[in-house]
Structure 1
């Protein structure tokens, strides 16, 4: 029996809080129901960008493409997407190559936003839908490229200000600091704890002993102070090690580039004013 597969993707975790997932799922289910087809909606790349093809290389789309390549997806099956930009936001030549490979493998690609069906049978008789597909893919790539350039320039300006004026790049900072009015401000109570941990380390006390002392005196850990739902969170050897090994205590800040999930590379370290605990 012919089967339909839906592919759902959005770029950032924040979009999970919106309507993107529900909308894409509902549209795919409605289309399959109207055709009387079984729908497999397990192929999802939630919070994965398609600008550099990460969904194609490491995501759920990559798994689907491999299944097509080895013949696990039968010819005549449907791949349902909201729009072609869900499949790819890479350059037109890369995005088109991927689309053509699916079509040549016998998969019918359905785009719900414009009610297009891209199949080998149809395109051999009428190639005009390809013009539409190229325009959609070009627009998707250009949108992502412009956004990337704007965001990149904004971060470059922030880095310049950070180096020249000591302005924080983001509100995130070491746990013994806070950002207030665009400046790093020491949290005096926590700075005292940092000083104590270093002093006791220099005196020869191990991490376990330092942890026992802090917990024994009922001194709340930094995590406990930030998590009101779990005030019982105590000091751990890992939290002490993080403080001792963190070069931020020297005033050093090491920004990174990459996705919001994990860093993929580092930039030159910078020093910012007011970052050294006093």
Structure 2
């Protein structure tokens, strides 16, 4: 019986979905499994797409955490393989925590394979091969420093935006009844949507409930905001309770 193998794919930003990252990581796992006689599970795959590993989100709330739970429950059997493009797909946390995660997986009887260099990490390798542990530590150090630098630059960029917020909007994201002006120097109301918001408040002040307002708008076939197909009482309630209607907006 061939050893079971599982693929784990991760990248941090949604933009990478439009690139080559998903195909590259997926095909690398398939190729490795074929060359090494592994039974790659094509139904139970683990993907954290657009999920950061800098603060361990993929481990705590993502599909990597699901894989770890299945390992601990025995649903992923000892002797299985976890195929990843590089160790930085597993974690970009501080080196000690990243290596600790690798050790946790290996000590559960799972072989971690890094597809970019073909290296296999097992509990025995980490115990007996100083180079394996050193490589893992160096990769973790590099990955964490890269992510920390990106995070620092992002904070600085947003700080610069905040300092200029009185001149230039921080973001084009706005309440559904507001849009960024063509000159990108401020926002303006969308007249028909602003009228609907005003009407919601007028109807509420007249004693109409959330459900009654939504039903009235649906009967009149008023265009909804966003991708919804009909007006719902919860959205009416959201608008009535939003401070954005008086000009406050926090993203």
How big is the shift at 1:51? 0.8
Q: Deviations over 1:22-52 (max 9, x none)?
A: 1111111111111111012512222221111
Indicate how the Cα distance of structure 1 residues 209 and 95 shifts in structure 2: closer, same or farther if over 3 A, else same. closer
Out of 9-18 and 242-251, give the one that drifted further: 9-18
Question: 5+ residue gaps in structure 1?
Answer: 256-278
Question: 5+ residue gaps in structure 2?
Answer: none
The 8 Å contact of residues 167 and 185 in structure 2, kept in 1 or not, is answered as no
CA distance in 1: counterparts of 2:19 and 2:197, whole angstroms: 40
How big is the shift at 1:146? 0.9
The alignment of Structure 1 onto Structure 2 pairs a total of residues equal to: 246
Q: Which among 100, 103, 107 is matched to residue 104 of structure 1?
A: 107
CA distance in 2: counterparts of 1:106 and 1:215, whole angstroms: 58
CA distance in 2: counterparts of 1:147 and 1:182, whole angstroms: 27
CA distance in 1: counterparts of 2:14 and 2:147, whole angstroms: 17
CA distance in 2: counterparts of 1:166 and 1:245, whole angstroms: 28
Indicate how the Cα distance of structure 1 residues 16 and 176 shifts in structure 2: closer, same or farther if over 3 A, else same. same
CA distance in 2: counterparts of 1:212 and 1:50, whole angstroms: 44
Indicate how the Cα distance of structure 1 residues 215 and 145 shifts in structure 2: closer, same or farther if over 3 A, else same. same
Q: Tell me which residue corresponds to 1:53.
A: 56
Q: Tell me which residue corresponds to 1:65.
A: 68
The answer on 1:252 being equivalent to 2:215 is no
Calculate the TM-score normalised by the size of structure 2: 0.85
Q: CA RMSD in A?
A: 2.5
Q: Tell me which residue corresponds to 1:23.
A: 24
How big is the shift at 1:70? 4.2
Indicate how the Cα distance of structure 1 residues 66 and 243 shifts in structure 2: closer, same or farther if over 3 A, else same. closer
